[in-house]
A and B are shown apart, each in its own frame.
Chain A
Amino acid sequence: MKDKPVILVVDDQPQNIELLEAYLVPQGYEIVSAASGEDALEKLTGNQIDLMLLDIIMPGIDGFEVTRRVRQNTTYRLLPIILITVLREPEARVKGIEAGCDDFITRPLDKMELFARVRSLLKVKAYNDLMSNYRKDLESEVTRRTEELRQAFIFQQCLIDALSAPVFYKDFEGRFEGCNRSFEKFFGRKRAELIGTSVYELSPKELDDLYQEKDQALLQNPGIQIFESVVKDAFGIIHNVVFHKATFNNLDGSVGGLIGVILDITDLKTAETMRKELEAQLNQAQKMEAVGRLAGGVAHDYNNMLSVIVGYSELALEEIAIEDPVHEYIHAIHDAAIRSTDITRQLLAFARKQTIAPVALDLNKTVESMLRMLSRLIGEDIDLAWRPGSELWPVKMDPSQVDQMLANLCVNARDALHGVGHVTIETGTARFDAAYCADHLGFIPGDYVLLAVSDDGCGMDRETIAKIFEPFFTTKGIGQGTGLGLSTVYGIVKQNNGFINVYSEPGKGTTFKIYLARHTDQAVEAPKVDSLSITHGHGETILIVEDEVSILELAKRILGGLGYTVLIARLPSQALHLAEEYSSEIHLLITDVVMPEMNGKELSNRLRTVCPTLRTLFMSGYTANVIAHRGVLDQGVQFMQKPFSKESMAQKVREALES
């Protein structure tokens, strides 16, 4: 900072400069002198001049011209200029003002007037300097704030562009002010087209009004608004979305507008639907399992009772002459018991408690051997088509179960056709991958052999399809169906680790598709069962152990009648005691599987320590884990299903003795 104001004195007469110097220096001013206009303009730069005292009449450029040039220079635009003149003419003053001077002083100089004018103009200069400094400060502040604004804007835009969800913001009238990149991409709309408009046009037309109403509702009641809806994306695909919207305020606290985020919940919705479907499938499977267990338990007890009825009615029939009217009555009882046996057999099949002897099978051969029987079953008005798949893989299952399934499915197809139509049996192969199985509960990846039975009959609605595998569910009239047919099929498929699918439409027809696991060993032909003939005993000793007395008595009578020596015991302990006491050899043990004290297998093992050559024939209403895994008999185990007839018992006993 300089300590003295600097005055530039411009005059071509040195004595005039000296005079001014003599006046002004003692007043505390510093003097810079110039002898011409050109000299003055040069001395302006680099001398920090605060005021100019300028003579008008000079050789070269005069005082008016100097004034004009100074005023044109932006740096010295406001420099105070006092013109010194001898002239008193008003024209000179007008010319001076037009050129841009601030004041005049006339010669001869009045010292006090000079001081006053200089002081007053220096004061103006000081104010101008102050103003100019303020302005400079202000300008640099504005520059800084503009940069900050730009920085904040860039950051904000990067921030919302980084979000994967579509984001938008609108003003108080509901007009778009901006959005992020994913919004542009999702809806295929450019910001430039969108900004300033109030319509969404993002959704089916009818929803547009709803969204604008929602906007207005939120703006009237500032806060947060969340709602589920649908929108259409750039490709016309409808998405399930959640709108999350919130109002924002202006600096004065008034509502400025709203910000919205659109969350796509389409995948979530799909997953939820799938989860619900799977849950329903699981519930159904659990229900079937529970019903199956119940049915199995009931069937077991029924089989014991039926054994007694069948057995004794057979014995009674032998005792009574055919002419006797009682023979006919007992025959009716026997027939009814046999039919009941069939029902419990189906129940057991559904409960997967049926004892089976699976073998490797070629399904094509098995089906072919049944075709004649099946076409008789469905009647001649219905066309039965057989479409065997080529190069079928073998499966491992009990051939009698294939018969059971086909018979049940064909009977149902016949009933769906009401007399005329087509039934088609097909075979084929299928392969399920992990992806398919993930969507279909109960399916396991692998190779499968397909057995399909289709009809073009009346079909079923969804509600019926949901129930068809439940035991005792039937659409047929009273007395026409047991409601066990498809339950049996279902049980057999499950017992063989297979899957079953139903496709049906009312009026179009129905297809059942059964998938049986591929068996990797070679297939064998279904063995032909020899027709039974009563085989008698040769005095062999048989020990029968059974806690149900009526069955025990029945077995004793049958086997005694066939020429065997029969020992009976109600409990395993009795049997062991009897075996120790008995002097000669015991050839065969016939035992129930489930008994008090110990199970049949344990008893058999204990007895064999006494009689090493002893053979064992197990009998049961259904198999227990001790002799079979999941209902499948261990190799070499002899087993007799309750209820049994005289013939089947005679046959089984012979087989056991000769094995």
Chain B
Amino acid sequence: MRKRVLVVDDNANNLLLEKDLLEVAGFEVFEAKNATDGIALARKEKPDIILMDVRLPDMRGTEAARILRQDKEARNIPIIFVTASVMAEGVEEIKNIPNSGFIGKPINTRTFVKEISQFIK
């Protein structure tokens, strides 16, 4: 079974890069450009993992994560925040969300997929 990943990012370049990296490694990739679409796709496809930008046009990624954690079916999907905000405040915001992690921007194309895989296992 191919691993399934949902990528939520409003920046087209980031989205494309992450998608390329994951697809080359053999993942099936779903994409969303805002939190609302992301939440809907997560409920529908139930991916193995969700990659979420923190700054999204309609709400903060952490807010979307809190909504998903309330969802009966999507609550156990690991959520990885891909963010440049490595300030203490940002990390605190993520820490409170169960089963989550974060990868700092700019991403390392060599190690990115490995880091994602670690979260799935």
A interface residues with partner B (beta carbon < 8 Å): 142-143, 145-147, 149-150, 152-154, 157, 169, 171, 175-178, 190-193, 195-196, 256
Contacts and interface: CB of A to CB of B under 8 A. Distances in A.
B80 to A, nearest CB: 14
Contacts of B117: 192, 195-196
Contacts of B72: none
Nearest to B26: A192
Given A191-B24, A192-B3, A177 B113 contact: yes
Contacts of B114: 171, 175-178, 195-196
Contact of A196 (B13, B16, B118): B118
Q: Which 5 A-B pairs have the closest CB atoms?
A: A196-B117, A192-B26, A146-B13, A153-B109, A150-B17
A153 B17 contact: yes
A377 B21 CA distance: 83
13 contacts: A145-B106, A146-B11, A146-B106, A153-B17, A157-B24, A171-B114, A177-B114, A190-B2, A192-B25, A192-B26, A195-B25, A196-B117, A256-B110
B121 interface: yes
A191 B109 CA distance: 15
Interface residue tally on B, bucketed by range: 20 to 34
A193 B117 CA distance: 9
Nearest to A144: B13
A601 B27 CA distance: 90
A193 B1 CA distance: 10
A652 to B, nearest CB: 89
Contacts of A256: 110
B14 interface: yes
Nearest to B109: A153
A146 B84 CA distance: 13
B20 A192 contact: no
Contact of A195 (B13, B17, B109, B113): B113
A149 B109 contact: yes
Contacts of B24: 153, 157, 191
Nearest to A189: B26
Nearest to A146: B13
Nearest to B110: A177
B92 to A, nearest CB: 24
B109 to A, nearest CB: 4
Interface string B58-96: 000000000000000000000000000000000000000
A191 B25 contact: yes
Contacts of A154: 20
A171 B110 CA distance: 9
Nearest to B3: A192
